[in-house]
């Protein structure tokens, strides 16, 4: 089953093994004063694309009053909600989300420096409401830009040999790294692409496609999202003709001719490229996480491999959810509880 489905949106705080902990914002004025002087506490949920970061954030938000700040560089933009895999409003279960689809792609590309200042404002806002900021998303360059004590936009910590990232952070951070072994994650990602196509990714991209669009600086911002370049090549050959094109083409032409077979082949090729590029993205993201860990970012690793194996195998609701709660949510909740008490 997909990690989010109408059937598994119930919350683990009803279960026996983790008790909800209220994070009391202002217990006394002396405590309030101490808290003001202290650095804000931030829980950072890291991990490759598709490994369940959003799922975990909503699970944790049911245990600790929290708000989510998105750190996926494609999901900050308005539009392409399916293609960029944004958590839907229904899946958010009322948990406030920030920097998610709030940035107009026509305003240009969001830079790491901009993300640093917008993210800081969001964290301050969440903390001032007495809630726990959960930073959730797979863009490690954005996470790095936001969290380090001193940020130098000129230094590319992940490029080439790379300068080491700084272990000095401007918040008190608890890093949760959701990890899934690569072969299991790859199977899941391939299936996820098919699921995304099933819920309208092709139609979304057809609608977004604009043959007249010029992009002097090369592909920037949302136009770099996986799915856009791959299907742009397809749409150049087979321009979209309105909603539900693929079925319409078939019906119009009645039988499978050479044209249809070529179109089908081009479609399959785009899907194959999307799957391959998603796989490469996941590998690069894991490499960057390991690099940050190597620089002294202390990470708590949660192994979600078994839960994902069950989800990909189509293990209906109960079993994978049980494993996910036991191996990912439960240990994460313990880490966060301890972190908040420190």
- Binding site residues, ligand ATP, CB under 6 A: 72-75, 84-85, 138-141, 158, 224-226, 281, 284-285, 288
Smallest distance from ligand ATP to CB 71, Å? 9
Smallest distance from ligand ATP to CB 47, Å? 11
Smallest distance from ligand ATP to CB 211, Å? 21
Q: Which is nearer to ligand ATP, 33 or 224 (CB)?
A: 224
Sheet hosting strand 66-70, strand order edge to edge: 97-98, 66-70, 132-136, 41-46, 172-179, 299-303
Smallest distance from ligand ATP to CB 17, Å? 32
Report CA 97 to chain centroid distance, whole Å: 12
Smallest distance from ligand ATP to CB 38, Å? 29
Map residue 1 onto helix, strand or coil. Answer: coil
Report CA 160 to chain centroid distance, whole Å: 25
Give CA–CA dist 74/100, Å, rounded.
9
Q: Which is nearer to ligand ATP, 292 or 311 (CB)?
A: 292
Give CA–CA dist 112/25, Å, rounded.
30
Q: Which is nearer to ligand ATP, 194 or 253 (CB)?
A: 194
Give CA–CA dist 284/271, Å, rounded.
20
Smallest distance from ligand ATP to CB 124, Å? 23
Smallest distance from ligand ATP to CB 308, Å? 18
Q: Which is nearer to ligand ATP, 71 or 245 (CB)?
A: 71
Give CA–CA dist 238/229, Å, rounded.
14
Smallest distance from ligand ATP to CB 329, Å? 23
Q: Which is nearer to ligand ATP, 57 or 85 (CB)?
A: 85
For the chain, what's the residue count?
342
Q: Contact at 8 Å (CB) between 112 and 142?
A: yes
What are the residue ranges of helices labelled H in 138-257? 140-147, 182-198, 201-208, 228-237, 245-253
Q: Which is nearer to ligand ATP, 74 or 197 (CB)?
A: 74
Q: Contact at 8 Å (CB) between 123 and 98?
A: no
**DSSP states along 102-149:** -B-GGG-PPPHHHHHHHHHHHHHHHHHTTPEEEEE-S-HHHHHHHHBS
Q: Which is nearer to ligand ATP, 11 or 284 (CB)?
A: 284
Residue nearest to ligand ATP (CB): 141
Looking at 260-298, which runs of residues are DSSP E strands?
Answer: none
Q: Which is nearer to ligand ATP, 23 or 158 (CB)?
A: 158
Q: Contact at 8 Å (CB) between 83 and 204?
A: yes
């Amino acid at each position: 089953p997909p990690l989010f489905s109408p059937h598994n949106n119930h919350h683990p705080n009803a279960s026996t093994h983790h008790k909800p902990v209220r994070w009391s914002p202002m217990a006394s004025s002396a405590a309030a004063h101490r808290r003001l002087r202290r650095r804000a506490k931030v829980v950072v949920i890291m991990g490759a694309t598709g490994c369940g970061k959003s799922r975990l954030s909503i699970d944790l938000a049911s245990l600790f009053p929290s708000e989510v700040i998105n750190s996926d560089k494609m999901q900050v933009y308005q539009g392409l909600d399916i293609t960029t895999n944004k958590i839907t409003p229904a899946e958010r279960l009322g948990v406030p989300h920030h920097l998610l689809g709030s940035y107009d792609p026509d305003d240009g590309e969001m830079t790491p420096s901009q993300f640093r200042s917008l993210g800081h404002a969001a964290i301050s806002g969440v903390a001032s409401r007495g809630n726990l900021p959960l930073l959730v998303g797979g863009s490690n360059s954005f996470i790095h830009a936001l969290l380090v004590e001193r940020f130098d936009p000129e230094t590319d910590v992940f490029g080439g040999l790379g300068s080491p990232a700084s272990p000095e952070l401007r918040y008190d951070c608890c890093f949760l790294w959701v990890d899934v072994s690569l072969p299991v994650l790859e199977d899941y990602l391939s299936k996820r692409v098919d699921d995304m196509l099933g819920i309208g990714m092709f139609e979304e991209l057809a609608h977004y496609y604009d043959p007249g669009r010029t992009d002097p600086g090369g592909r920037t911002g949302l136009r770099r999202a996986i799915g856009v370049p791959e299907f742009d090549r397809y749409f150049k050959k087979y321009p979209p003709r309105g909603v539900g094109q693929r079925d319409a083409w078939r019906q119009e032409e009645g039988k499978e001719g050479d044209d249809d077979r070529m179109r089908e082949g081009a479609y399959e090729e785009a899907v194959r490229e999307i799957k391959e590029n998603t796989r490469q993205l996941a590998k690069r993201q894991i490499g960057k996480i390991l690099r940050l860990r190597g620089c002294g970012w202390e990470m708590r690793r949660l192994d979600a491999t078994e839960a994902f194996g069950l989800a990909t195998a189509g293990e209906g609701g109960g079993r994978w959810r049980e494993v996910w709660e036991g191996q990912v949510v439960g240990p994460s909740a313990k880490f966060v509880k301890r972190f908040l008490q420190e």
